[in-house]
């Protein structure tokens, strides 16, 4: 079985190390909708993340309405455009280049977006949300699903308009938007540098 065949079968399961090694940021999805039971399994994996002082600061917004996803993509592009314009940074230039492509969709036409929101202002709320995010992405990978964090959507998601539309309470902060879907093609690995060890005493 090729890696793609393995990835396209949602029932596939992997060891933790296999999931860590196989996870990719997937940007090409089939139109197949993910059912609610699978999403609940991913959310359950997310809430098993470690959490400082056992605060469990996360809440989740799930968006599967195609029209909403398209509108949110347009809003996100508009905000990235406005925020990046006039900046000289490499990041801003690269972001502008991407969002100005006419067919660029910030969610790559994935059918599901899960937004992990932080309920509390404590020092580790965001860290907890990111740990939940990685749990969710590894669980998805172990089940043959693709995911990608969509940082481009964070700014739009935290506007009062989008919070109201998605029923995210005003006091919460959208931290980690993650798309989920069935990969339509194989995503090659993005190489990593070896771990840099500054101290080992
Ligand atoms: C905080 C964060 C924000 C990201 N935002 C985006 C994004 O808006 N769009 C995108 O295509 N990928 C996004 N990514 C995915 C990274 O580009 C990706 O993780 C990186 O290139 C390494 O590739 P890999 O995840 O396949 O190993 C984001 C990743 C992180 C951690």
pLDDT in tens, 9-51: 556 779 999 999 999 999 999 999 999 999 999 999 999 999 9
Res. 1 pLDDT band, cuts 50 70 90: very low
Measured between alpha carbons, how far is 39 from 112 in angstroms, rounded to an integer? 9
H/E run at residue 44: helix 36-47
CA–centroid distance, residue 149 to ligand 1 (Å): 5
CA–centroid distance, residue 147 to ligand 1 (Å): 10
- Provide residues with CB under 6 Å of ligand 1: 24-25, 27, 148-152, 190
CA–centroid distance, residue 60 to ligand 1 (Å): 20
pLDDT in tens, 145-181: 999 999 999 999 999 999 999 999 999 999 999 999 9
Measured between alpha carbons, how far is 129 from 96 in angstroms, rounded to an integer? 27
Q: At 115, give phi and psi (nearest 5°).
A: -105, 120
pLDDT in tens, 104-153: 999 999 999 999 999 998 999 999 999 999 999 999 999 999 999 999 99
Q: What is the pLDDT of residue 184?
A: 97
Which residue has the least CA distance to atom 11 on ligand 1? Answer: 150
pLDDT in tens, 55-77: 999 999 999 999 999 999 999 99
Calculate mean pLDDT across residues 75-100: 93
- Give me the residue label for tokens 């002082």: 53
CA–centroid distance, residue 57 to ligand 1 (Å): 23
Q: What is the pLDDT of residue 6?
A: 47
Q: What is the pLDDT of residue 126?
A: 98
Q: For ligand 1, pick from 148, 187, 188 the residue to mutate: most ligand atoms within 8 Å of CB.
A: 148
Query: Is the Cα torsion angle 36, 42, 44, 46 positive or negative in sign?
Result: negative
Q: What is the pLDDT of residue 13?
A: 78
Measured between alpha carbons, how far is 29 from 31 in angstroms, rounded to an integer? 6
Which residue has the least CA distance to atom 4 on ligand 1? Answer: 151
Index of the ligand 1 atom closest to the CA of residue 108 = 11
Measured between alpha carbons, how far is 61 from 166 in angstroms, rounded to an integer? 7
| E strand intervals along the chain | 58-63, 112-118, 146-149, 173-181
Measured between alpha carbons, how far is 102 from 108 in angstroms, rounded to an integer? 13
């Amino acid at each position: 079985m090729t890696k793609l065949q393995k990835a396209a079968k949602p029932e596939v399961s992997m060891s933790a190390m296999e999931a860590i090694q196989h996870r990719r940021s997937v940007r090409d999805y089939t139109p197949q909708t993910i059912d609610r039971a699978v999403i609940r399994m991913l959310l359950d994996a997310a809430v098993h993340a470690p959490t400082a002082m056992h605060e469990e600061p996360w809440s989740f917004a799930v968006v599967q309405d195609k029209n909403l996803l398209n509108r949110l993509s347009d809003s996100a592009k508009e905000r990235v455009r406005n925020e990046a314009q006039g900046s000289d940074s490499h990041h801003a230039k690269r972001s502008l280049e991407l969002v100005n492509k006419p067919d660029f969709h910030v969610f790559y036409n994935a059918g599901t977006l899960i937004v992990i929101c932080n309920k509390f202002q404590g020092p580790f709320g965001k860290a907890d949300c990111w740990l939940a995010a990685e749990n969710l992405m590894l669980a998805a990978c172990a089940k043959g699903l693709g995911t990608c964090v969509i940082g481009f959507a964070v700014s739009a998601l935290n506007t009062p308009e989008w919070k109201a539309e998605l029923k995210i309470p005003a006091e919460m902060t959208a931290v980690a938007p993650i798309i989920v879907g069935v990969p339509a093609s194989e995503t090659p690995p993005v190489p990593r540098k070896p771990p840099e060890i500054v101290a080992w005493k």
